[in-house]
Structures are given as C-alpha cells and as structure tokens.
Amino acid sequence: MTDKIEKTHKTIEQAEQEGKYIRKVRSFVKREGRLTKNQERAIDNHWAEMGLMHSDGLINPAALFANNNPVVLEIGFGMGKSLVEMAKAAPELNFIGVEVHKPGVGACIASAVEAEVTNLKVYEHDAIEVLADCIPDGVLTTVQLFFPDPWHKKKHHKRRIVSAEFVETIRQKLKVDGVFHMATDWENYAECMLEDMQKSPGYNNLSTTNDYVPRPDSRPLTKFENRGQNLGHGVWDLQFAKKA
Ligand SMILES: C[S@@+](CC[C@H](N)C(=O)[O-])C[C@H]1O[C@@H](n2cnc3c(N)ncnc32)[C@H](O)[C@@H]1O
C-alpha cells in the first residue's frame, strides 16, 4: 500500500509542480507501531472491500457504496471502535474513516468485520491530502473530528489540525446544512476551534448558547474520552451547519 502511495508523489517538489497541495507541518507523527496478527489479517483479507487508496484520486460515493445514502466522514478515528459502533447503529448512512496509524486501520477493519458492518470504508492516509485529492465538493452530510491530537505546548499549536484554512476546506466538502462535529477534552483547543468556526462566515452554530452543544446520543464515548473523564477532564462538543 505504502509503496503505491510513494510512487504517486516522488518528491514534494514534483507534487507541487503538478499543482498538488502539500502540507509541510503535519498534525501527526507517524508511529510505525507493530500490527497485531489480528490487525494484519483484517487488512490482508478485507482491504479489497473496505480499503480506499489516496492514489486512486477523486471518489464517487454513490458508486463506491452502490447507493445514494448520505455520507459521513470521520477524521482520525484512532482504533475505530466508536466509528464502527456508529456505522453499525446507522445502516442508512455511509461512513468513510481516515486514519494515518496503520494498526488503528487494521483494528477498525477487524471490528467492522466482527460487527458485520458493510457501510464503512477506510483510508490509511493523511486526512488533509484525502480532503484535497479524493473528496468531491458538496458531498458530505457530516464531518466528524473527535479528540484530535491537542498538541498541548504553544510552540506545537501550528500542528493542530483545526485552523481557519481547515474549517474552510471542510465547509467546501459539506452539503448545504451538512454538519461539522468536533469534540475535544482540551479546553484551550475547544476555545480555538470555536474561534475559528465563529470567524468563518459560512457556518451556523447549532449551539443554543452560541458556543458548545451537549454530546449528542449519536456520538459514542471514545477511548480518549473515557480516559479523559477518568482524569477529571471536561469535554466540549461543537456542531456547526454549512450555510446555503
Ligand atoms: C488523540 S487520537 C483520537 C482518536 C479517536 N478519535 C478517539 O477519540 O479515540 C487522534 C488520532 O488522529 C489521528 N490523526 C492525526 N492527524 C491526522 C491526519 N492528518 N489524518 C488522519 N489521521 C490523523 C492520529 O493518528 C490519532 O489516531
């Protein structure tokens, strides 16, 4: 898989000359953790039906899922536990997950197979590049970003995935009235997310208090959230709808 991706972009310079958007500061550090046997088997046996390749370019969701159901995109699904739970609970929706951590992708596929989930496909790739190169404009009903890496230190804030530019990209990919849903257990990140969203003229805040929303029932507790709660952290959910 990785070889195929590398062959498409030989060098950053070449990709830039081809007009590709290249991001130099990334929101993740690639940890090449070892795959468990179960994760490896899940990828080997089920990549053909569940895996999506960044190098295949722009997708047609209706053709991909063989139906016209609304499409939910989740960025940074970790081990995929809550994503699989959501896909299982909503067979009337199509889910696309994007995660850079290969063991997480393997774990997600293994859980999906076990749960007999068929409305989920996954990328093992940087979501920024997937958004730029693979997702057509105006096709997503929901974008989910749950507990993105907070990059606590001020000098690392530039690594945070949420920025003014990012929220504008998400807006382009959403349908009108489509919802961008974020959650974090890091108060300073929640405040920055809110500021970026409020500055963007293309969204309506779904919060009745003009800031955060209560966790909707549709969002299961994630692993990071459970851990945060045990540490006494708060959690902030934000939901904004794309304006017409
Ligand atoms: C703190 S974890 C949260 C995982 C999961 N959402 C949860 O709540 O349990 C953040 C995840 O985002 C992934 N990630 C960070 N930047 C990413 C990017 N640009 N594209 C795809 N995944 C990314 C990381 O690999 C990591 O698994």
Residue 11: the pLDDT is 52
Please report, rounded to a whole number, the percentage of residues in the chain having pLDDT higher than 70.
Answer: 90
Domain count, the chain: 1
Mutate to test the pocket of ligand 1, among 99, 151, 169 (most ligand atoms within 8 A of CB): 99
Residue 66 lies inside a defined structural domain of this protein: yes
Q: Give the pLDDT score at 17.
A: 63
Identify the domain containing residue 183 by its residue range.
2-28+51-242
Ligand 1 binding residues, C-beta < 6 A: 27-28, 75-78, 98-101, 104, 126-128, 146-149, 161, 222-224
Asked, for residue 226, whether it belongs to a domain, the answer is yes
Q: In the chain, what percentage of residues exceed pLDDT 90?
A: 78
For residue 16, the model assigns a pLDDT of: 60
Residue 225 included in any domain? yes
Mean pLDDT of the 113-117 span: 98
pLDDT tens string 198-208: 999 999 999 99
Q: How does the average pLDDT of the chain come out, rounded?
A: 91
Note if 149 is an active site residue: yes
What is the arithmetic mean of pLDDT over 152-171? Answer: 95
| SS3 call for 12 | helix
* pLDDT over 90 (residue 75): yes
Is the model's pLDDT at 232 over the cut of 90?
Answer: no
CATH number at residue 196: 3.40.50.150
Confidence of residue 8 (pLDDT cuts 50, 70, 90): very low
Residue 93 lies in a domain: yes
Model confidence band, residue 21 (pLDDT cutoffs 50, 70, 90): low
When pLDDT is cut at 50, 70 and 90, the band that residue 79 belongs to is very high
Task: Encode pLDDT of 43-63 as tens digits.
Answer: 999 999 999 999 999 999 999
Residue 67's Cα: distance from chain center in Å? 22
How far is the C-alpha of 14 from the C-alpha of 26, rounded, in Å?
19
The answer as to whether 44 is a domain residue is no
149 falls within a domain: yes
Within a domain: 174: yes
Do the beta carbons of residue 234 and residue 185 sit within 8 Å?
yes
C-alpha 131 to ligand 1 mean position (Å): 15
Residue 2 scores a pLDDT above 60: no
Q: Three-class SS string for 72-138? A: EEEECCCCCHHHHHHHHHCCCCEEEEEECCHHHHHHHHHHHHHCCCCCEEEEECCHHHHHHHCCCCC
Quick check: is 104 in a domain? yes
